[in-house]
Amino acid sequence: MMNEQLTADNLNDAGHLQIGGVDALTLAHQFDTPLYVYDINKVRDQIQRFKHVFEQRHVHYGISYASKAFSSIGIYQVMAQEGIHTDVVSGGELQTAINAGFPMAKVAFHGNNKSREELEMAVKHDVGLIIVDNFHEIDLLNKVLQEQQTHCKVVIRITPGIAAHTNSYIATGQVDSKFGFDLQSGQADRALQIILQSERMEVFGVHAHIGSQVFDGRGFNAAARKLVDVAAHWKAQYGYEVSSINVGGGFGIQYSSLQSPMAPEDFVDGIITAMEEEVQKTGINMPAIWIEPGRSLVGPAGYTLYTVGSRKDIPGGYEPFISVDGGMGDNIRPALYQAEYETVYARDPQAPATERVRIAGKYCESGDVLAMHQPLPKTHPGDILAMLDTGAYGYAMASNYNRNPRPAVVFAENGEARLVIRRETPADVSRLDLNYLAVKM
Ligand code: LLP
């Protein structure tokens, strides 16, 4: 039986797993493993699904890809082709977007502690929006704008007092957050007043992000209403009307058949309805609705290919360990968040499972286990396994732990595979080191 996360498109005539129309075994052979592969059409489809709902409901909107989920020149180029915006959260992500030729007017710069250098870089490159997070940043940004004799558009990030978790949300949660201006104590109002007085900043809107890998829409709807109330209050109190309300990202995806997140369409539909109702109630003009999906755009499109190596059977009814050539360096999420993934046997994803195994990584740490209780047919050294839905926060959080080189990344689309990030070599891993014995004082 085929894994529920796969579709008929995932099987080729030979019965092998295919990704973006390319045989997974060919990919592993051509580019080596571990290998991240993205089915780029899946990314494009996901964007279209989000866009479609907004367009059907005739609202002004902005979709900004939260590129922390996966930042690379190639993915920014795909996002640019699809005509959406992107968020960056560091000088490194911004530099990558610049190198990609991504339109700077469509970049939003996020972060709770942007450095002066990062703000200088953002202003110099005329990024479209800076999401201001705290008073220190407003101060720094004013100075940078003064120095560069220029202006910028900002969005004010607030903590709305709503925290969403996978299956629940707390209406009074998330006051105690490192991000954004607190609402209750009046910080958000003070931020608005300061910015309105600045000659160099123009307020575009208000923003909140309530959580990640969220499965139900109630938290978003509550946040949307809260943000409209803030906008109405700002209009009444300060005569300022926002042009946009940004409800952040966090739309959950299905990592395993046991999970059932809402469809992207339903998340967005609920947000639009909540916002429209609250706008009606408060009498402000309908602002543009912005969202910042990261995981939901790239997660389901990503696969990690591994080659099976050693096996350890432990007498006494323990689950065997099947070790692969990657692990916590290319996917920290199982170790860090107890995240669960499903894995298939790439040569024959339909092959009946004959055992349950633990898929262990090659890193020198007992916690380096990528998956537990994974049903698989009997595998042998050299076999290729494909872990599914690894496109978000996989490569993005990859490390050189144990000085393992990071894998390559390939985009597959319409039967063609292109290398978009080269594999690191052992030489790359020590490229920043200096020879202590040769350093002259
Ligand atoms: N907008 C803001 C302001 C965010 O902080 C985030 C994620 C997003 C959008 C995108 O959220 P997404 O749609 O990807 O859920 N490393 C963790 C996830 C951290 C998310 C941080 N912020 C993980 O691997 O699950």
114: region left, alpha or beta (phi > 0 left; psi from -120 to 50 alpha): beta
Identified catalytic residue from 258, 314, 364, 437: 364
Q: pLDDT, tens digit, for every residue of 377-434? A: 999 999 999 999 999 999 999 999 999 999 999 999 999 999 999 999 999 999 999 9
pLDDT of 5 reads 86
Nearest residue by C-alpha to atom 18 in ligand 1:
212
Residues 351 and 266: their CA atoms lie apart, in Å, by 34
Instruction: Please tell me if the CB atom of residue 333 comes closer than 6 angstroms to any atom of ligand 1.
Output: yes
Tokens of 227: 């943000």
Among 46, 64, 65, 68, say which to mutate for ligand 1: greatest number of ligand atoms within 8 Å of CB: 68
Q: 247 φ, ψ to 5°?
A: -95, 10
Nearest residue by C-alpha to atom 19 in ligand 1:
212
pLDDT of 1 reads 64
Residues 330 and 36: their CA atoms lie apart, in Å, by 9
Residue type, 374: Q
Q: How far is the CA of 186 from the centre of ligand 1 (A)?
A: 26
Among 295, 297, 390, say which to mutate for ligand 1: greatest number of ligand atoms within 8 Å of CB: 295
Q: How far is the CA of 172 from the centre of ligand 1 (A)?
A: 20
Tokens of 8: 């008929």
Instruction: Please tell me if the CB atom of residue 293 comes closer than 6 angstroms to any atom of ligand 1.
Output: yes
Residues in the chain: 441
pLDDT of 155 reads 98
Location of structure tokens 């990261």: 294
**Is 364 among the catalytic positions?**
yes
Give, to the nearest 10 degrees, the angle between helix 116-124 and helix 91-100.
20
Positive or negative, the Cα torsion across 96, 99, 100, 105?
A: positive
Tokens of 381: 């050294």
Instruction: Please tell me if the CB atom of residue 66 comes closer than 6 angstroms to any atom of ligand 1.
Output: yes
Nearest residue by C-alpha to atom 21 in ligand 1:
212
pLDDT of 438 reads 84
Ranges of the chain whose pLDDT falls below 70: 1, 172-173, 439-441
Please answer whether residues 169 and 210 qualify as being in contact, where contact means their C-beta atoms are separated by less than 8 angstroms: yes
Q: How far is the CA of 66 from the centre of ligand 1 (A)?
A: 7
pLDDT of 169 reads 81
Helices (H), 259-320: 264-282, 295-298
Q: Which atom of ligand 1 is nearest to the CA of 339?
A: 25
pLDDT of 441 reads 60
Q: Which atom of ligand 1 is nearest to the CA of 209?
A: 3
For 283-433, strand residue ranges (E) read 288-291, 302-312, 321-324, 343-345, 355-360, 369-376, 384-388, 408-413, 416-421
Instruction: Please tell me if the CB atom of residue 300 comes closer than 6 angstroms to any atom of ligand 1.
Output: no
